C-alpha cells in the first residue's frame, strides 16, 4: 500500500499508540475519546422524525452510497452559478467563464489524484459510466486479445461492463497473498490485456494491495484499471507513483453530488476508441454525408453539453480534501471505524464481514449481519425508531456476498468527513436495543421493502412521499 498515501499524521499515529489502537480491525475495547466532524457538510444537523413523533439528529451512515455535499462544495457551486452558461460553445462572458471553470476543474481533479502529465481526464457521470467507457476502449487486437481479468469481489460496476467482451472472473482466496498467487497464475496461464480491480471493497471496506497488483499485471503485459469509487474518498491516491493505468471514481461519493465522475488514464486507448457518446462536441468536423472527424480524448468521449457544475463541484471537493493536514482524514476515519467495529463485535449475533483473514487496512465502510434479523427490516427499524440511515441488501456485489455466504443480504454502515463518534455510538446502542428488547413498533413488507405498519413520519412539505410503487430497485450501491 505504499503508493496510496494514508491521510494520516504523525500526531494521529502517536495518539493511536497512546490509546493502544493500531488501525487494524481487531479491537475489543470501545474507544471512548469523542471524535467530531472533520469538515462541515450540508445536512450535518438534519433532523429526522421518528415513528411516535420524536425528532432526532439524523445519523447518516451511508456515505459509501452517496456522501453529503461538503459545505465548501455547496458554497463554490453557489458562487459560480451566476456564471453558468454553455461550455465550449459560446463567445459570451459567462460562457467563457464556464468553459474556463470546466477545463480548470479537469486539471484540478487530475492533480488531486496525481495523474501523469500525458494522462487524459474524461469527465463522466460516475464510476459506472467511466468503467463502461473504458470497456469500450480495450483493444482486442493487441497482447492479451482484449481479455479483462477481474476478481469476484467487485461491485457490479467493475464486473458487468467487462462481461460484454473477453473476460475471466477469478475467485478471491482466503488470504490476500493467495489471491495474488491466483492472479499471477491466471496471467501466466494466458496473457490478459487489462486487470480491473477495486481499490477498496464497498462491502467490507478492506483495501486491496494495488501496488502489488500493478506490479504483477505489468510484469505480464497487462494494464490495470482501479475502481476508485470507495478508495478516493478515503485515501490520497497518487496515480503516477501507484503506476495504475486508469482510475475511475464518482463525485457523489467524494462530497460533490452534482452528477460528475471521472476516468483518468493513458491516452492511446482512449484516442483510438470509438467515441463513447457520439454527438456535438466530440468531433472536429462532419462532412455533408455525416462522416465525422472525431476529436481526440477527452472531447472524443464527452459528446453533448458538459456538466460544468458537476465538474466544478468535484474540483472544489478535491481542493477541500487536499487542504486537510496530512493524515487527518485517515486518523478521523480510523478512530470511528475502530469505535464502531469494537461496538458491533461486542453485540451478540453481529458478524462484521471481511473478505480476507489477513487484511490489515480498512476504511470507514463496515458490512455486517445480525443473526436472526432480516437486514432490510433492521435498516427500517434503525430509520424509523432511531433516525439512523444505513444501507442494506447485497450492495451491487452479488458474487462477493455469495462468497461470504451471506444469502439474505447484509447491512452496511459507512462514514466520512462529516461523521462523529456519536454516530457510531447511536448505531451500536440501537442494535443492542434490538437484540435485547426487539422492535418498538410493527413492521411489514411493502413493495419489497420493510416499513413500519403505522408510519406517521412526515415528509418535508416540498417532497411528499412518492406513491409510485413501480420503481423499487433491487440492487443499489
Residues that bind ligand PMP (CB under 6 A): 126-128, 155, 157-158, 198, 202, 227, 229-230, 250, 252, 396, 477
Find out whether 139 and 146 touch, Cβ atoms under 8 Å.
Answer: yes
DSSP string, 414-442: E--TT--HHHHHHHHHHHHHHHHH--SS-
Q: Which is nearer to ligand PMP, 230 or 421 (CB)?
A: 230
Distance CA 236, CA 232 (A): 6
Distance CA 140, CA 37 (A): 48
**Ramachandran quadrant class, 52 (left: phi over 0; alpha: psi -120 to 50; beta: rest):** left
CA angle 379, 201, 332 (to 5 degrees): 80
Q: Which is nearer to ligand PMP, 12 or 397 (CB)?
A: 397
Beta-strand runs (E) in 139-213? 148-151, 167-170, 194-198
The count of other CB atoms within 10 Å of the CB of residue 455 is 15
Residues 6+ apart with CB under 8 A from 344: 350, 352, 366, 368, 428, 431
Q: Which candidate in 13, 318, 396, 475 is catalytic?
A: 396
CB of 67 to ligand PMP, least distance (A): 11
CB of 178 to ligand PMP, least distance (A): 22
CA separation (Å) from 344 to 47, 63, 174, 356, 413? 25, 18, 23, 19, 11
CB of 41 to ligand PMP, least distance (A): 18
Distance CA 436, CA 349 (A): 11
Distance CA 318, CA 256 (A): 9
200 is catalytic: no
Find out whether 330 and 147 touch, Cβ atoms under 8 Å.
Answer: no
CB of 257 to ligand PMP, least distance (A): 10
CB of 428 to ligand PMP, least distance (A): 24
Name the nearest CA neighbour of 150 among 206, 203, 208.
Answer: 208
Q: Which is nearer to ligand PMP, 95 or 250 (CB)?
A: 250
CB of 163 to ligand PMP, least distance (A): 15
Which residues form the catalytic set? Answer: 396
Amino acid at each position: 500500500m505504499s503508493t496510496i498515501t494514508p491521510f494520516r499524521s504523525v500526531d494521529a499515529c502517536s495518539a493511536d499508540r497512546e490509546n493502544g489502537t493500531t488501525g487494524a480491525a481487531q479491537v475489543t475495547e470501545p474507544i471512548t475519546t469523542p471524535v467530531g466532524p472533520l469538515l462541515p457538510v450540508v445536512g450535518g444537523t438534519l433532523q429526522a422524525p421518528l415513528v411516535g413523533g420524536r425528532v432526532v439528529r439524523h445519523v447518516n451512515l451511508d456515505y459509501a452510497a452517496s456522501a453529503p455535499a461538503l459545505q465548501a462544495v455547496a458554497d463554490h457551486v453557489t458562487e459560480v452559478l451566476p456564471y453558468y452558461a454553455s461550455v465550449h460553445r459560446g463567445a459570451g462572458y459567462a460562457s467563457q467563464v464556464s468553459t474556463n471553470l470546466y477545463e480548470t476543474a479537469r486539471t484540478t481533479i487530475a492533480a488531486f489524484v496525481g495523474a501523469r502529465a500525458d494522462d487524459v481526464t474524461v469527465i463522466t457521470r460516475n464510476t459506472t459510466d467511466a468503467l463502461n467507457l473504458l470497456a469500450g476502449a480495450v483493444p482486442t487486437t493487441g497482447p492479451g486479445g482484449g481479455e479483462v481479468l477481474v476478481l469476484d469481489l467487485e461491485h457490479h460496476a467493475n464486473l458487468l461492463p467487462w462481461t460484454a467482451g473477453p473476460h475471466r472472473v477469478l475467485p478471491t482466496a482466503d488470504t490476500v497473498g493467495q489471491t495474488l498467487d491466483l492472479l499471477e497464475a491466471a496471467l501466466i496461464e494466458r496473457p490478459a490485456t487489462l486487470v480491473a480491480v477495486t481499490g477498496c471493497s464497498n462491502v467490507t471496506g478492506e483495501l486491496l494491495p494495488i501496488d502489488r497488483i500493478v506490479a504483477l499485471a505489468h510484469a505480464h503485459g497487462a494494464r490495470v484499471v482501479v475502481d476508485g469509487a470507495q478508495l478516493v474518498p478515503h485515501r490520497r491516491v497518487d496515480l503516477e507513483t501507484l503506476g495504475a493505468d486508469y482510475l475511475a471514481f464518482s463525485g457523489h461519493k467524494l462530497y460533490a453530488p452534482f452528477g460528475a465522475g471521472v476516468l483518468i488514464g493513458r491516452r492511446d486507448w482512449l484516442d483510438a476508441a470509438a467515441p463513447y457518446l457520439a454527438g456535438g462536441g466530440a468531433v472536429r468536423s462532419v462532412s455533408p454525408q455525416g462522416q465525422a472527424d472525431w476529436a481526440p480524448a477527452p472531447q472524443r468521449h464527452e459528446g453533448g453539453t458538459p456538466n460544468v457544475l458537476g465538474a466544478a463541484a468535484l474540483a472544489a471537493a478535491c481542493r477541500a480534501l487536499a487542504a486537510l493536514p496530512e493524515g487527518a482524514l485517515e486518523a478521523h476515519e480510523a478512530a470511528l471505524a475502530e469505535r464502531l467495529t469494537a461496538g458491533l463485535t461486542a453485540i451478540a449475533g453481529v458478524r462484521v464481514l471481511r473478505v480476507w483473514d489477513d487484511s490489515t487496512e480498512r476504511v470507514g465502510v463496515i458490512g455486517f449481519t445480525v443473526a436472526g434479523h432480516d437486514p432490510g427490516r433492521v435498516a427500517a427499524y434503525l430509520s424509523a425508531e432511531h433516525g439512523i440511515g444505513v444501507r442494506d441488501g447485497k450492495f451491487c456485489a452479488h458474487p462477493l456476498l455469495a462468497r461470504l455466504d451471506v444469502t439474505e443480504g447484509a447491512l452496511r454502515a459507512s462514514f466520512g468527513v462529516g461523521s462523529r463518534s456519536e454516530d457510531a455510538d447511536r448505531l451500536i446502542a440501537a442494535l443492542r436495543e434490538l437484540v435485547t428488547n426487539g422492535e418498538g413498533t410493527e413492521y411489514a413488507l411493502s413493495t419489497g421493502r420493510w416499513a413500519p405498519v403505522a408510519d406517521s413520519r412526515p415528509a418535508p412539505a416540498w417532497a411528499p412521499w412518492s406513491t409510485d410503487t413501480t420503481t423499487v430497485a433491487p440492487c443499489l450501491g
